[in-house]
Structure 1
Amino acid sequence: MLYASGSPTPFDFGSQTLNTESTPAVFTIKNTGKGVLNITSSLVISGTNQGEFAIKTPPGTSSIAAGDSTTFSVVFKPTDPASTVKTATLTIPNNDGDEGSYTIQLTGTVAETISITSFTPGEGIIGTEVIVNGSGFSNDMGVAFKNVNGEFVFSDLLIVESPTRVRVAVPYGAVTSTITVMNNLGQAESTTQFVVLTITSFSPAKGPVGTEVIINGSGFSNDMGVAFKDSAGAFVFSDLLIVESPTRVRAAVPYGAVTSTITVMNNLGQAVTETTFVVTPKITEFSPPYAPVGATVRIKGSNLNGTSTITFNGITATVKNIDQYTVETTVPAGATSGPVVLTNLEGSTQAMFYVSPNITSLSPNTGKRGDEITVKGQNLENISSVTVNGAVATYTNTDINTIVLTVPTGATIGDGFIVVKTTAAGSDSAAFTVLESTTLPVELVEFTGKSNAKGITLTWKTASEQDNAYFEVQASQNPAKEEFRTIQRVNSKVTNSSSVTSYEALDATAAKGVVTYYRLKQVDLNGTSEYTKTIAVKNIASTNTPILVKAYPNPFGENQNLNIRVEAENAGNMTVVLYYVTGKKAFEQVFSVESGVSYIELPLSITTLSKGMFILSTELNGETTTTRVVKQ
């Protein structure tokens, strides 16, 4: 097409998408005169939208001979969305004296499209209002952010102020991402991301104070805080905070936190989890750290409020809720060392608790060095040492409630204690008397006590006496906690004798219905003394049939066992002891007998008993009997 200089008809580039460049339009300059046509300077584009057009290639020559021509090209590259039609003037300076500078009008149309050029602010939380600038905006457009899965989440608040400006709110579920606008013209995405402070998930979902929680989301920063809530609803902040990336942080559940949502916060604002983190109970200590059955124990820790059950190694205990950090309980009967499990609505927690030992009986509670003593009680386990009157003893743990020990050679003669010490649960003790290991000046063959209407009658027999001055009858209500007291003195009837001598004493002060423990203190003419074994008698006047014990065969031979016929009104455990006439114990065993008649066989054929006379002593339900037996 021929364009005359200054023609009002422009060269039209047609429609062109914003920020793109058109196909170059090639123009030809032809010299139709007779002289040389010179282009005197560079081609110039001027006018309203001069920056939207550009010389792509300049003329091939600036001097055109008559009849010759040269070409140049121009492009349309719109960048400003402010107006649709763009115009400019192209000027070709030359030496043509008739026409002077040659001008061509240029025009082009910006194709209707949608784009984003900027947005502000560049960061915020869910609900933050963002102004998006661009082009092609319309009332039917949508603005979307992205969620953690990269899917579009659209803004509910959308105000189109103009084709180049729109207001939106960051939608629920959005994370740090680009912003996308879309309508019938297509869609456009921002070149930068909008930073959203939000939490998308956390793990684990529950745990006690101190649990490390991984929080995922976006917009995290090194100056951020992570908070849980306490029972009053106030923030309690995590001391352990490790920001691994803008989308991941590690935080520890702080002391004082209860089940609540998790909040993250920084200069962008605050973001809160959709669900709560369940803070489960945690035991941190016991007060006291160990205790016997029946003792009160305070369990301390965190989130202990609302405790419903407490068990000691499987045995249910009482519950007394004090506050969020303390629960009180009592060590239940039958409890043994093991885990204490506490449960409330939030979950369970457990910690190791040691139940202290409890000695309930010694059999016998007196003995000489080298004698075997059976200790009964509860929780006699995890033992670190057993001592008798201060000396360490050897022992065997036959079960959790029984110890069989040997009185050590270093045990101090006289009254003292057997002490059982455990590795972690403390110790317990019981009164014990270590007897002299010498030939007795008095050979005691019987010592019994019976309740009657007047009190308790104590009787004893001696097989022989040597320089015997007198006996002291001593009594105690609880030998483990109080000393024996002398209640009566009985002078020797014979001083020296080799025949059986009988004695009797009455304790008229014995309390009704109470068990009293008795022993004899035998005193020689020179003042030396010995103690007998201790017997227990309950002061209940009774017409019950006495226990009848008969040993047979008597005498018994080298390879024979000794049999006992027992006739008793009440069943129980009978302690059978065989003594040498010197008082040294030769055999001891506990047998279970039934009410009525029972038969017991003593396995003496496998022992190394020497031939001679022995004292057979039995004790059942507080009643003691003695008889003599002979081995041939």
Structure 2
Amino acid sequence: MARFYAHPYNWLIRTLLTKFVLIFLIGISAQAQGVPVINSFSPTTGPVGTEVTINGSGFTEAHTVSIGNGATYEFTIVSDSEIRIKVPSLASNGAIRVSSNQGAASSSTGYTVVNAPAITSFSPSSGPVGTEVTIIGTNFSTVTAISIGSGSTTSFTKVSDTEIKVTVPSLASNGAIRVSSNQGAASSSTGYTVVNAPAITSFSPSSGPVGTEVTIIGTNLNSVAHVNIGSGWIAASSFISASDTQIKVIVPSTASTASLRVTSPYGQFYSSTFTVVGSPTITSFSPSSGPVGTEVTIIGTNLNSVAHVNIGSGWIAASSFISASDTQIKVIVPSTASTASLRVTSPYGQFYSSTFTVVGSPTITSFSPSSGPVGTEVTITGTNLSVATHIYVGNGWVPASSFISASDTQIKMLIPSTASSGSVRVLSNHGQAYSSGIFTVEGGAINITSTELVFNTGSVGSSQVKEYQVSGLGLTNGQAVNIILDAASPFTISTTAGSGFAKSLALNNVSSNRLNATTIFVKYTPVTSGDTPDVITHAQGSISKSLNLRVVTPMPVELKSFTANVKDDLVVLKWSTASEKDNSHFEVEMSAGSLSNFRKISMVKSKVENSSTTTDYTYSHYYSGNGQTEYYRLKQVDLNGASSYSRIIEVKPSLAMKPLVVAPNPLEVDSKAYFSASANGKATLRVTSITGKQVYFEQVDVHVGENALQLSKYSNLMAGVYIVTVEHDGKRESVRIEKK
């Protein structure tokens, strides 16, 4: 037999064969490890919400999919070679990226988000905090937030669909300008330079344990208010020393391995990573999904000091670990787990990894309404809801036996008397789920279907009867709702149309903290020709509601209805007449802030002059935007000049107020609560845990319009989920936040 190595080119053949085998084995290894590979996707373009199918391999362990800059954890793994995803609201034009614990892959071509905003230019390209920047582009009508570097704001002016003006926020840093909307997001191709903002050129050392002295070198450092090392916050008062070009600090016990950041009133700057020596890290975990009871293996470093592991809301103490070493921990997914980040915590720091998906656990996609008193009926939609054992609203819970109805995709229930403002949480033996939004528990309320009943003058001894309905939520069970009139009133009330009229009523049917809708009949019996207005009072304890009663001389025009609604900063007035006789026109009058300064704002001519059929009218008027209540009335004018007035209606366009937003969220040291106030005064800022326990509160001064409220106790918050509530002028808003 000839020997292979005797050939003169043996060395070349052996080398080529060796390389071929190595390449083959590497490929096999990559496939075995499940590293994602993207071969194609379709469609290649579409708006937010479009379903996209991604084809490739290694998808079984995928935990995150990104389209451009928009990442999401919500997608369907059809098989190891196929993923289906709906384009998320933060998506932007760019490559599709699939990430798993084994690695990540990006598509070779990009996805185009239809109707997403786009930035073509901006000016100026530099300036200090407070500079007005004009952004030019397309599809700006749906933009809800703007970022300049790391500084975001929701306060800006939309000049048109192609132009936005924004003031550089105090937390801005050098970097791209980004606009975000519910139709997608876009970033500028060039960056904005924040003049006078602090900058870091270097720091040393780049690693060390808690207590290490770190020297930061840069420019404009004498204005720095605080330094962050990951999640560790160091106030200027705790600096060892500071000048315009150098700051010295000590690594705090709350630090984590992450960027080093300096923040001042003139902007902020992120530097490279400082590594906290001794803190735990996670390099991978497997599997990335599974039901309650699944064994999960966590790989990393410094794990022997870990005190507990969190899988979403599920907490596992070190005493319950299956096994633990410096590089590996094994745990069992607890029944309290939820789909969220996996986290390890030790006395030397903590570390967040990617998402673990709890298979079979309930999920919440939405709930409505988002606020109401105790007794409000709430509908929760989602998946796997049939396994729910009870539901929490804040710290109040409802057992499954008390649900109004339940299916795998929907649960209906009443808000319990123990509820507090907070997340809606569904618990089961298969895991639990938190809502992304907050349910706000409002104070008890008595509701009536009309704020005023108007009767026509009549002869003494005659009578007229009108009706309305009263209901209530958040009331005390077993305590009557009392309905009362003045003893000398020409009006009487009853729960039946033809009998039982009196000056007072007691409704004793309050149960489950609710008063179901009850019809009340009001009879007017003229006593004199000059009967005066009266008020019906509805009350249970401190909760009350009034209904005005008025007697008027009939108009030549019979007015059927008169309403006002706010839409896109317009007050839309609508009224209908049942009949008109010798009608010339209507004069629309408005008074802002009080009933003492009515003025004519427009005239609307009669469409018919004389008619016995219904005629509809509409008039639109721009709301002044100053937060005041505006009052409207109609002055009906006959052909002969005689006139009479309609009832008065009021408009306080709360719909024009921006909702409470905390940004950035998850929290950074510079996060603020952006809140719209309807009047000058003080507001209460409250932070509670997810279970309703108060962490801290403070009173702050606010002004009419949008306010930016600093979360001053940021450094006091441990990692976790919290509820921020702002109360002002009888209004309460809440939002969920997270600190990592």
Q: Tell me the TM-score range normalised by the shorter chain.
A: under 0.3
Larger Rg: 1
TM-score, L = length of structure 2: 0.22
More helix by share: 2
